[in-house]
Amino acid sequence: GGDLFDYIMKHEEGLNEDLAKKYFAQIVHAISYCHKLHVVHRDLKPEN
């Protein structure tokens, strides 16, 4: 469990590129889906 912000804070050395790409792709896919439903999130950040 937990959110992306907590995960990032636990890994101070950063994420490896492959894992960062995976998370980024998931986020983009989710935002795209929301936009198709005409839903807009106006406060995107790791804590959300």
**Domain with 47 in it:** 1-48
Highest mean pLDDT among 8-12, 31-35, 41-45: 31-35
Query: Of 22, 23, 39, which Cα lies nearest the Cα of 31?
Result: 39
Residue 22: is its pLDDT beyond 70?
A: yes
pTM score, two decimals? 0.71
| Total domain count, the chain | 1
Q: Is 4 exposed, middle or buried (0-12, 13-18, 19+ CB in 10 A)?
A: middle
Helix or strand (DSSP H, E) at 22: helix 17-36
Q: 3-21, pLDDT tens digit by residue?
A: 888 888 888 888 889 988 9
43 is catalytic: yes
Enter the tokens of residue 4.
Answer: 């992306």
pLDDT at 18: 94
